[in-house]
Amino acid sequence: MMPYVGTKQPASYRALLRNGELYTRVEHARLALQSCRVCPRHCAVNRLAGELGTCLVGAKALVASAHPHFGEEFPIRGWFGSGTIFFAGCNLRCLYCQNHDISHAPNGQELESDELAALMLALQEQGCHNINLVSPSHQVPQILEGILVAAQRGLRLPIVYNTSSYDDLEMLRLLEGVVDIYMPDFKYADAVIGRRLSKIPDYPSRAQAALKEMHRQVGDLVLDEDGIAVRGLLVRHLVLPENLAGTEEVMRFLAHEISRDTYVHIMDQYYPAAKASRHPVLNRRVRTYEVEAAIAQARACGLYRLHEE
């Protein structure tokens, strides 16, 4: 079993900046916008020419807000907050999206790479523990370019990739050595449920492949001497009413296909947001016994690093 306490070290992208690889990654990623293959939908629109696909985001980064965030898990938020950048638009269309006002519309400000970099540097100046990229899957090229500019100007914080797990493997490979901490959701075990609730045909297979790639890159979650995450994988799983998320299968996959040492947050805060009130099962909050059952299933599968505040 690996140790879970590490020491503070420079963010991994600093090495890629020094050897020139970060410039190459930015160029490769930007090419994916010409006939868009940035996320698994592969809409094939030319975002560089202003065409829009499902995510409704063009060639520039589209940002809804950026601020120190204190609502994340302690290893991410610490004492000084996580430097969170909420990206507008999304490649999913979840019926119950709790950020639907910025994800489905989308509502945000278009930013050049130097403006996105300035946000990252401002969060660093405010003392945040990391840069937390929320809903980044459809804006990886823009994010890489922003990180490049920010790194040139002195960014040194770890990068957190906070995702739905509906990610393209080519884009994830471009993030190797850039992202220090992957924080993916694992939403559903059943493709039919994913199609009904998030309007995508192949969520489980895509998420499983993405999680394997993320873990290959960064391994299990490592904390420093203060309990702050410095590198690794932190998986979130939102418990849904009537076990729509298929929790036991999700936990079995994590234990058997990723690692029994996976750090998992079983989340209990579901409530009927967006269009969920019209759904016959999603139109209520999750109940205590459902969350307790999910935790018991995780433990039964051999997972033991379950997040607790």
Q: What is the pLDDT of residues 241-272, one digit of tens each?
A: 999 999 999 999 999 999 999 999 999 999 99
| Angstrom distances, CA of residue 193 to CA of 25, 95, 138, 162 | 35, 11, 22, 22
Residue 6 forms part of a structural domain: no
Asked whether residue 269 is assigned to any structural domain, the reply reads yes
* pLDDT over 50 (residue 58): yes
At 283, list the tokens: 């139109």
Mean pLDDT, rounded, for 227-249:
98
Compute CA distances 186 → 19, 46, 255, 267, whole Å.
34, 30, 13, 11
**Is the pLDDT at 22 greater than 80, yes or no?**
yes
130 in a domain, yes or no? yes
Secondary structure class of 124 (helix, strand, coil): helix
Place of tokens 């020094």: 18
Task: Output the pLDDT for position 4.
Answer: 45
Q: What is the mean pLDDT of the chain?
A: 95
Q: What is the pLDDT of residue 14?
A: 95
User: 305-306 and 263-267: which strand pairing?
Assistant: parallel
Average pLDDT, stretch 233-238?
A: 98
Distance CA 153, CA 301 (A): 45
- For residue 260, count CB atoms less than 10 angstroms from its CB and return exposed for 0-12, middle for 13-18, buried for 19 or more: middle
CA 119 centroid distance within chain: 18
Per-residue pLDDT tens over the stretch 118-173: 999 999 999 999 999 999 999 999 999 999 999 999 999 999 999 999 999 999 99
Over 50: is that where the pLDDT of 190 sits?
yes
Q: What is the pLDDT of residue 8?
A: 58
* pLDDT tens digits along 77-94: 999 999 999 999 999 999
Distance CA 282, CA 271 (A): 8
For residue 106, the model assigns a pLDDT of 80
Considering only CA atoms, which of 184, 220, 221 is closest in space to residue 203?
184
Q: How many domains does the chain have?
A: 1
Q: Computed from CA positions of residues 88, 92, 93, 98, in that sequence, does the dihedral angle turn out positive or negative?
A: negative
CATH code of the domain containing 49: 3.20.20.70
DSSP H helical ranges for the chain: 13-19, 21-31, 74-77, 100-103, 113-125, 140-152, 169-174, 191-198, 203-218, 247-253, 288-300
Residue 200: name the closest of 188, 214, 218 by CA.
Answer: 188
Q: pLDDT confidence of 3, banded at 50, 70, 90?
A: very low
Distance CA 224, CA 78 (A): 11
2: in domain: no
Residues in the chain: 309
End-to-end Cα separation, the chain, in angstroms: 24
Q: Is the pLDDT of residue 1 over 90?
A: no
d(CA 189, CA 246): 5
Enter the DSSP assignment of 91. S
Please report where in the chains the tokens 């799983």 appear, as a residue: 237
pLDDT above 50: residue 28: yes
Q: Is residue 1 part of a domain?
A: no
Write down the pLDDT at residue 93: 95
Q: Tell me whether residue 204 is in a domain.
A: yes
Query: Tokens standing for 91?
Result: 């490649």
**Omega cis (within 30) before 106:** yes
Provide the domain limits for residue 148.
13-306
Residue 114's pLDDT is what? Answer: 98
Position 9 scores a pLDDT of 62
Is pLDDT above 90 for 6? no
Which H/E stretch holds residue 267?
strand 263-267
- Render pLDDT for 114-132 as a digit per residue (tens, 0 to 9): 999 999 999 999 999 999 9
Cα(57)–Cα(75) distance, rounded to whole angstroms?
31
Question: From the CB of residue 257, how many other CB atoms can be counted at a distance below 10 Å?
Answer: 12
